[in-house]
């Protein structure tokens, strides 16, 4: 008989979280470790990655830190190849340049594409090759609600997140027969370093809060549940999906509540 108590148990599994030094990546690392995974906290900033790994170990978890720059193709392959027994990959890094498309320079376009889209491509394909050899694994990337719905000034960012989603779906189709699952998570507005410029503007912050059905921003830890679900046996028949975690943002029509 299937043991339902172990659906979310990650004991004995090794997970690499890239972008683990802050925000959603940090929350993902903490969530996976809390459910028993040995977590490799990867980040461009080794100091912040080490802080998260130390935090995990201080509560009895298992973790270590490493430097990884997803803009460096050879570096990504080298890092992933040192982890032939990797069970879970979580990719969270992203940048944004908020500008109308008509004002966007080639350099700015390339900078966002290089990190958000090409960086994710490097990670998921490198991990996918190794997982395919083992016949199992779960790859989780962070897309965004911007993969589905946009606003002025986010054209290139939205394009990368739509691209991340479609790459995940394609890789899910290609690696499914080999036992590897690939999924994306689409957060709404989350209080992270990436959204700090918005949070600093009260009118902007409040407008975003009111847009969601729950009337507030998300905290990073509220993304961890979806990560653990997709990494664990609870999501064993889930692949090629976009799991929306947006407080109802994409479900609610418009920014005006009519009198009823």
Arithmetic mean of pLDDT, 66-94: 96
Task: Write down the pLDDT at residue 197.
Answer: 85
More confident residue, 197 or 140: 140
Task: Write down the pLDDT at residue 257.
Answer: 65
pLDDT in tens, 178-229: 999 999 999 999 998 878 888 899 999 999 999 899 999 999 999 999 999 9
Task: Write down the pLDDT at residue 243.
Answer: 98
- Sheet with 14-18: list strands edge to edge: 62-67, 38-43, 14-18, 88-91, 137-142, 180-187, 242-245
Arithmetic mean of pLDDT, 89-102: 96
- Across 14-18, 112-116, 151-155, least confident range: 151-155
User: Cα-flanking dihedrals φ and ψ of residue 135, to 5°?
Assistant: 80, 20
All domains of the chain in start order, with CATH: 10-241 (3.40.50.720)
pLDDT in tens, 2-14: 899 999 999 999 9
Q: How confident is the model at residue 127 (pLDDT cuts 50, 70, 90)?
A: very high
Closest CA to 104 of 160, 159, 162, 153: 153
User: Cα-flanking dihedrals φ and ψ of residue 145, to 5°?
Assistant: -60, -20
4 is a catalytic site residue: no
Catalytic residue among 157, 205, 208, 229: 157
In the chain, DSSP assigns E strands to 14-18, 38-43, 62-67, 88-91, 137-142, 180-187, 242-245
Q: How confident is the model at residue 176 (pLDDT cuts 50, 70, 90)?
A: very high
Cβ atoms of residues 184 and 176 within 8 Å:
no
Arithmetic mean of pLDDT, 233-249: 97
Block residue for tokens 């199992």: 136
> How far is Cα of residue 46 from the mean position of the Cα atoms in its chain?
19
Task: Write down the pLDDT at residue 218.
Answer: 96
Cβ atoms of residues 104 and 155 within 8 Å:
yes
């Amino acid at each position: 008989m299937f043991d339902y108590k172990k659906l979310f148990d990650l004991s004995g599994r090794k997970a690499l979280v890239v972008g683990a030094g802050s925000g959603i990546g940090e929350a993902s690392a903490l969530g996976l470790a809390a459910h028993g995974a040995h977590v490799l906290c990867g980040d461009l900033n080794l100091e912040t990655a080490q802080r998260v790994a130390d935090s995990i170990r201080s509560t009895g978890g298992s973790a270590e830190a490493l430097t990884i720059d997803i803009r460096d193709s050879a570096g990504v392959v080298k890092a992933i190849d040192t982890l032939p027994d990797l069970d879970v990959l979580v990719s969270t890094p992203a940048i944004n340049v908020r500008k109308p498309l008509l004002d966007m320079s080639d350099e700015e376009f390339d900078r966002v594409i290089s990190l958000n889209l090409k960086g994710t491509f490097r990670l998921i394909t490198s991990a996918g090759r190794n997982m395919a050899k083992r016949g199992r694994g779960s790859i989780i990337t962070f897309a965004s609600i911007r993969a589905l719905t946009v606003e002025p000034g986010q054209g290139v960012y939205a394009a990368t997140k739509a691209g991340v989603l479609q790459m995940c779906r394609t890789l899910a189709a290609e690696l499914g027969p080999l036992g590897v699952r690939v999924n994306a998570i689409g957060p709404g507005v989350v209080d992270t370093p990436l959204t700090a410029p918005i949070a600093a503007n009260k009118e902007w912050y409040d407008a975003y809060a009111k847009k969601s059905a729950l009337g507030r921003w998300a905290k990073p830890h509220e993304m961890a549940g979806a990560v653990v679900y997709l990494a664990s046996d609870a999501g064993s028949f889930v692949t090629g999906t976009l799991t929306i975690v947006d407080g109802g943002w994409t479900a609610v029509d418009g920014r005006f509540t009519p009198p009823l």
